[in-house]
Structures are given as structure tokens and as C-alpha cells.
Structure 1
Amino acid sequence: MASRDQALSLLAAANNHGDLAVKLSSLKQVRDILLAVDPSLASELFPYLAELQSSPQSLVRKSLVEIVEEIGSKAMEYLAVLMPVLLALLRDADPDVAAQSVISGTKLFSGILEEMAVQMHHRGKVERWLEDLWTWMVKFKDDVYTIAIEIGPVRTRLLALKFLETYVSLFSPDKNDSGRPVVAGSRHVFNVSWLVGGHPVLDPAVYIAEAKRIVGTLFDLLKTASSLPGCLTVTIVNCRSLCFQ
């Protein structure tokens, strides 16, 4: 209870204090509390944390995104409450906030995808909360795809393209992969070959086809390479080279 009351007081300061340094310090302390307490207790504070997405200070919003990412590894079961925040801040007016949203979402996407494969392998099913979380990840993917192909800030667009590069890599079959998920608790990069034999949520044929479609879209972007910044062109080429080497 003391931690909850302290966190609520700190969240109020992060939201309402006039000094930016106090806001950021309060938010850092909130993060430490959320990561230290039981995830079920931390989740009670998530709706209050989400209110900070409307903060007028971009550094507060950027810090909020970073906290959402950290919570993703500590309290994944309750993360869906904060996913609307991540999606909303993908379109933040400050490019740094939008860029951080892409970075954090990309990390969460890979972790959640791996968890789905591991659960299926070890338990024979995927828990409902994880299915719901994957639905949010699909929305994230769709939004980032749109950012990647639209004209916008170069850094955010570059990171969006790098997410598509990650997506293509995850869903392009690797002939050298064992086809079996790693042991739960260890960290390895997911590959679609883990889904051989079927999966209740992830249809490998659908995701492989989408990876191909994304590569096709990137090929179309290359046709306008003369109008693209060089860093975007390089990222597109790298992404295309990943698919079915």
C-alpha cells in the first residue's frame, strides 16, 4: 500500500509539477517502484501512468514510452493496458517521441512473438492475455508500416523501415533454424520456422506471405530512390536482401 500511495504521489508530480526536472525525477522513481513490486500490483497504477501521454513536455512523453518498454519485460501479462499509449505516441508531434515509440515497440514486438511461440511449444496453447497483446502488436505493425511508406521525419521513417526489416527477418524461413523454440527464459531471435506444425494464433503461411508483400512494397519504394534520403535507400536494400536469400 505504501508503494502504491508513493507512486500515485509521484505520478501526480510528474503530471502537474511546474518544474520539468521534478517531473522527470518523479517519473524515474515511479518506474523504479513499478519494476520492483509484483506485476499485479504495478498494473493497478497503469491507468494513472497512461495519463502522462497528454503531458505538454515531450521529454515526459518520451520517458513514458521508455517505461512502457521496460514494463513489457517485467509485467507482460498486463501490458495491453498501456499499448494504446504506445500507438498514440507513434504519431506524436515531437519526432523524438515518435522515434522512441517505434524503437520500444519493435523490441516489444519481438519479445511478444517469441513468448507466443514458447508458450505453444511448452504448454500446447497460448494464454488469452497474450493473444490480446498480439492483437495490439498487429495494430502497431500496421501503423509503423504506414509511417514507413509516408513522407515524414527522416529519423522516424528510418526506424519504421528498420522495423519492417526486422519483421521480414522474423517471418522469412531460415533453412538453418532447428524449427524448435528455445528453452523458456533464454533469449534467441524468433524465426517463423518455429511455427512448423501449426499455431493457434500465428499462421506461418499468412505471415510469410505478408513478409513477401512488404518486400514488394519496398521494391516499389526503391523505384523512387532518387527522391529518398540515402539512409532510407540503404535500409530498404538491406531489408529486401533478407527475404528468402
Structure 2
Amino acid sequence: MDGHWRERALTFLAAANNHGDLAVKMSSLKQAKDILLSVEPSHAAELFPYLVELQSSPESVVRKALVEVIEEIGLTTMEHSSVLMPVLLTFLKDKENIVARQSIISGTNIFCGVLEELSLQFHRRGIVERWLGELWAWMVRYKDAVFGILLEAGTVGLKLLALKFLETYVLLFTSDTDDSKTPTAEAITRHGRAFNISVVVGGHPVLDPLALTTEANRTLGILLDFLRSASTFPGSLTISVVNCMLLSSTFMRS
């Protein structure tokens, strides 16, 4: 990447924010993303405040695309991505459903990625760097916000995605009881397998396996409460709750 990358990226970000043609906005955002992914993460992070400005775009498709960009850049430049996380929380309450839905989808992927990094960093180095602890704090806030969607008025589609996140949360923090099959943190990343709390070694400074497993059990209790109120929910939501509980119980018995 030549020395003019910053000027080019700023030009594309300005076009994505201000151009009158929607197609140009979308194309410019993609080109800005490609530049940011091609340079050193610390250099890319210098332009994150300009990227965040796009959250005020009046076009919902631009805001949705911004969330997708935040996911891709956030997972690649994780050390510098805390500044991007407030956008995810803000967009959970976006007036356009496609934006809020994408915020749950992308946020779930980031949540899992941060967990994997927390496990691997401590496994490899015996410490968790401050930036990663701060990023996890954002993930906890994100989790609470998504859980809140289930209890608030909103569309069924959004609640279904929130429920899917809740299911993912339970599976992440329900320990694999078969020790002979429990993979190491290194094996999970090497083979692309999902994180599970069972790979977290003792003494982790951020992740408390007992507390997180207890929280997962409490989350199952939330699902039970949903079932008790099933008559007040659409059929698709009730079916998803049942499927979530069946999957969780199957995992715990495996």
C-alpha cells in the first residue's frame, strides 16, 4: 500500500457519508474498507472515528453495510476495535429492522471472536492485555442489550435473532462434560471449532468459568419463563424457544 492510502481512504469515507448517489456511497464504503484492511491495524485505527460517523447516514442500507464493515474490520483489528462497539449497541435500537437485525448477527460473531481471543491470549501468554479486557466489557454490555430485546416490544424477526444469540450464549458457557473430547484452546482455533467454556484454564483473569456457567443456567431459566408465557407470543417464537432448549439440553447431555 502506497503512502497515499490515508488520503484515499478519507476520500472514500467522505463520499460514503456525503455523496448524493446511493450506489456511490455503497461502493465508496467498500473501497474504504478494503484500504483499512490492507494497512497496519494501528494505522487503520486512526480513521475509525471517520468510519463511525457513517452511523448517522439516513440510508438504512448504508447503516447495515457499516455494521458488516465493523464486523470484518473489528475481527481483523481487534486490538483497536473498542471504538467501533458503541455503534453495534446503538444500532440494536435502529428504527429500521434490517439494521438492528444485522447488528445482532454481526455482534454475535464478534462476541464469539472476542471469547476465543480471551482464551487463546491467556493460554499462550499467561496474561490478558488491557485492551482485550475493555473489549470484553463492551461485549457484556452488548449481551445485556440483546437480552433486553426479548423483553421489549418489537418485531418477531428481531426477537428470533435475539433468541438465537441467547441460544449461542448458553452453548458457549455450558461446559462440555465429556473431558476426553474437550479440545484445547489452540485446537479450537486451528480447526475452526466453536469456543466452549471448558477450554478456559484455571486462573483466567477475565473469564470466570463457574460464574459464566451459572449465568448460562440462569439464561435457560429465562427460556423456561418464555415457555410459561407461550400463549402471548407468536407461534414461530414459541417454536424457536423450544428448539433452543432442546439443543441446549442435548449439548449438556453429550
- Size of the aligned set, in residue pairs, is 245
* Partners of 1:71 and 1:170 in 2: CA distance: 23
Residues 184 and 215 (structure 1 numbering): CA distance in 2 closer, same or farther, change over 3 Å? Answer: closer
Q: 2:184 pairs with 180, 183, 189, which one?
A: 180
Letter of the 1:199 counterpart: H
Q: 1:114 pairs with 113, 116, 119, which one?
A: 116
* Partners of 2:244 and 2:209 in 1: CA distance: 19
| 1:87-166 map, 5 Å | 87-166=89-168
Measure how far apart 1:240 and its partner are.
2.0
Q: Per the alignment, in what secondary structure is the counterpart of residue 92 of structure 1?
A: coil
User: Counterpart of 2:215?
Assistant: 210
Q: 1:239 pairs with 235, 240, 244, which one?
A: 244
Letter of the 1:212 counterpart: N
Q: Is the 8 A contact 1:182 1:188 kept in 2?
A: no
Measure how far apart 1:206 and its partner are.
0.9
* Partners of 1:228 and 1:182 in 2: CA distance: 42
User: Counterpart of 2:202?
Assistant: 197
Deviations 1:151-207 (A, max 9, x none): 211111111100000000000011134263124852221111112423110111111
Deviations 1:63-101 (A, max 9, x none): 000000001221111110100111111110000000000
Q: Is the 8 A contact 1:215 1:239 kept in 2?
A: no
* Partners of 1:125 and 1:231 in 2: CA distance: 44
Letter of the 1:126 counterpart: V
- Calculate the TM-score normalised by the size of structure 2: 0.92
Q: What are the ranges of 5 or more consecutive residues in structure 1 without an aligned counterpart?
A: none
User: What is the aligned-residue RMSD (CA, Å)?
Assistant: 1.4
**Matched-pair identity in %:** 57
- Calculate the TM-score normalised by the size of structure 1: 0.96
Q: Is the 8 A contact 1:87 1:140 kept in 2?
A: yes
Letter of the 1:223 counterpart: R
Q: What are the ranges of 5 or more consecutive residues in structure 2 without an aligned counterpart?
A: none
User: Counterpart of 1:227?
Assistant: 232
